[in-house]
Amino acid sequence: MRWYWFDRYTEFVRGKRATSVKCVSLAEPHLHDHFMYYPIMPHALVIEGVAQTGGLLICEYKNCQEKVILAKLVKAIFYCEAVPGDVLTYHAEVQYMNENGASITATSHIGDKLHAEFEMMFAYLDHNEFGDKELFGIKDYKHLFFNFHVYEIGKEEDGVTPISIPECFKNI
Amino acid sequence: MTIDPEIFEKVRATLCDALSVDEDEVTEEATLVGDLGAESIDFLDIVFRLEKAFGIKVERGELFPADIFENENYAQNNRLNAEGMAALRERLPFIDLTEFEKNPVVQEFPSKMTVADMCRFVQSKLG
């Protein structure tokens, strides 16, 4: 099993913004006990899905050369609950980026209804943090971005030009 | 260095947003860690917000010069010696090191930083 908490991107503007969808299904084991007779999508996993949506946007912009981690959940406000059958739409916008990390604002919607709002901060791990060990290899990243349809629907920073596949993903 | 009231107000707003504290808690004398509850990761958030608010660039290690703290000529058993303190004073002239100097344990350094120190840091960056 892989730790995927959204299903695909529907919008991906390199280094700027991204929209993804997450289909909530009763087939997901975590809903069986959260809660029995009243299954709702755990807010912590919504946060993880939003963090993945924004974090991968930043990671791709940095050519997968940085270890991007969620460093701080600045704000998370939930207005309602998501239940099986709902389709959550996550939207993340990069607010700021420097050589140490990046911040985003994000929302989650169920249809037109605002489900939650977020502010998150991502940091780049020190390259020496794990010695020579890599958290993810370039093949893992390629797998992620292609599974999430980034290079089918993505755009360059101008929001118009179709996104190019980075050199690091070619020939592997 | 006198603190510019406009800079203080912007730093105060930044700290209120980053640390979820009330305006009246953010006084010049308040320490970021002890009084305002900042944790290590909050410093990254604060730096982001200061860069954005003031249009400045803060290099990695500029507020916490690890090269001094980790230099064995300057620090032994996690305590800065006189040469280390002199190097720190030269590197961070905007920070009041009086309190830190009384017990210069490296790990204690961030906890001594005050709101006034942050204001003077921003002022020094703005020239």
Domain limits, chain B: 5-126
Nearest CB partner across the interface for B51, out of A74, A98, A121: A98
**CB-CB under 8 Å, A99 with B45:** no
Chain B contact for A139, CB < 8 A? no
Contact status, residue A156 vs residue A163, Cβ threshold 8 Å: yes
Contacts of A170 (CB under 8 A, 6+ apart): none
Please name the residue of chain A whose CA is at the shortest distance from the CA of residue B42. Answer: A72
Q: Is A34 a catalytic residue?
A: yes
What is the residue range of A111's domain? Answer: 8-160
**CB-CB under 8 Å, B42 with A72:** yes
B58 min Cα distance to partner chain A (Å): 9
Other C-beta atoms within 10 Å of A59: how many? 22
Residue A41 lies in a domain: yes
CATH number for the domain spanning A13: value is 3.10.129.10
Output the pTM of the full model.
0.88
- Which numeric CATH code is attached to B5-126? 1.10.1200.10
Concatenate the DSSP letters of all residues of B51-116 into one string: HHHHT----TTSSS-HHHHT-TTTEETTEE-HHHHHHHHHH-TTS--HHHHHS-BGGGTGGG-BHH
For residues B69 and B105, what is the distance between their CA atoms, to the nearest angstrom? 9
Residue A166 lies in a domain: no
Q: How many domains does chain A have?
A: 1
If pLDDT is split at 50, 70 and 90, which confidence band does A129 have? low
Task: Locate B35 and state its tokens.
Answer: 């009084």
pLDDT at A161: 97
Q: Mean pLDDT over all residues of chain A?
A: 93
**CB-CB under 8 Å, A123 with B44:** yes
Using one digit for the tens of pLDDT, what is the confidence trace for A96-127?
999 889 999 999 999 999 999 999 999 998 76
Using one digit for the tens of pLDDT, what is the confidence trace for B38-62?
998 899 899 999 999 999 999 877 8
**A-chain residues near B18 (CB < 8 A):** 74
If pLDDT is split at 50, 70 and 90, which confidence band does A132 have? low
Mean pLDDT for the stretch of residues A141-154: 94
Residue A1 lies in a domain: no
Please name the residue of chain B whose CA is at the shortest distance from the CA of residue A124. Answer: B44
Between helix B40-54 and helix B115-126 the angle, nearest 10°, is 40
Residue carrying structure tokens 């603190």: B3
Residue A121 lies in a domain: yes
Residue A130 lies in a domain: yes
For residues B82 and B67, what is the distance between their CA atoms, to the nearest angstrom? 16
pLDDT lower than 50: segments of chain B? none
Residue A123 lies in a domain: yes
Using one digit for the tens of pLDDT, what is the confidence trace for A49-79?
999 999 999 999 999 999 999 999 999 999 9
pLDDT at A127: 66
Residue A126 lies in a domain: yes
Residue A169 lies in a domain: no
Task: Please say if the pLDDT value at position A128 is more than 70.
Answer: no
